[in-house]
Amino acid sequence: MEDEALIARVRRGDLAAASELLRRHEKTAYSAALRLVGGRTEAEDIAQEALVRAYTHLGELDDGSTFGPWLRRIAINLSLNALRRRGRLQFESLDAVPHPFYDFEDRLARTPEEHALSASDLTGMDALFEHLPPEQRVAVVLSDVYDYDIVDVAALSRCKLSAAKMRIARGRATLRKLLEEQNRANGDPA
């Protein structure tokens, strides 16, 4: 059954449909949280809270919107809030970031290695993200995993555009170095 049909059933009070919908997308919330906060226990807590909020606010989901990206956005916001509560970072809510047509000339040019960091090839990357300083981890995940524009990364991080670019560049460089070390340790030629 498609998500849209499940959502319609949930809105009519079908708890079995709610359970199926949330089960289907729980990994989406967990992955988003884990990539940002780094700790598995905290990511599980955030994912659980995101699922509860998605269920309780399902009426706010626009009919044309898809559940997965909406849930991921909730998990990202909750993760940024958790990082802010730690006092280590300052972020804007994703809801506060406007979504105009972006000037794609501002997007960072990516090397083939950086394209390997995209969401389609993240199997072993989550553990490597944990080695990045929080500011770099958030910038790289938002930019390279969730494909946020550099302007949005800067706005969410409450930093200047140049600082966001620097965090992304340094994070990517650190990830490249970690990947090279991992490849050498596994006997793969780098």
In sequence order, what are the residues at sequence separation of 6 or more whose Cβ sits closer than 8 angstroms to the Cβ of residue 82? 37, 42, 46
Give the mean pLDDT of 33-48.
92
Rg over CA atoms, the chain: 18
**Which pLDDT does position 107 carry in this prediction?**
37
Give the mean pLDDT of 78-106.
58
* Nearest to 119, CA basis, from 26, 31, 24: 31
Residue 106 in this model has a pLDDT that exceeds 60: no
* DSSP-H helix ranges across the chain: 3-11, 15-37, 40-56, 67-85, 112-115, 125-129, 134-140, 150-157, 161-185
In sequence order, what are the residues at sequence separation of 6 or more whose Cβ sits closer than 8 angstroms to the Cβ of residue 13? none
- Mean confidence (pLDDT) of the chain: 81
**Which pLDDT does position 167 carry in this prediction?**
95
Please state the domain extents for the chain: 1-88, 90-190
**Which pLDDT does position 18 carry in this prediction?**
93
CATH code of the region 1-88: 1.10.1740.10
Of residues 170 and 123, more confidence is placed in: 170
Please give the single-letter amino acid code of residue 85. Answer: R
Whether the CB-CB separation of 137 and 129 falls below 8 Å is answered with yes
User: Looking at the whole model, is its pTM more than 0.75?
Assistant: no
Task: Note the CATH architecture for domain 90-190.
Answer: Orthogonal Bundle (1.10)
Here the tokens at position 45 are: 């807590």
Give the mean pLDDT of 63-78.
89
Please give the single-letter amino acid code of residue 27. Answer: K
Residue 166 in this model has a pLDDT that exceeds 70: yes
* Nearest to 78, CA basis, from 41, 29, 26, 140: 29
User: Within a 10 A sphere around the Cβ of 90, how many other Cβ atoms?
Assistant: 13
**Which pLDDT does position 104 carry in this prediction?**
31
In sequence order, what are the residues at sequence separation of 6 or more whose Cβ sits closer than 8 angstroms to the Cβ of residue 179? 113, 128
Phi/psi at 176 (nearest 5 deg)? -60, -45
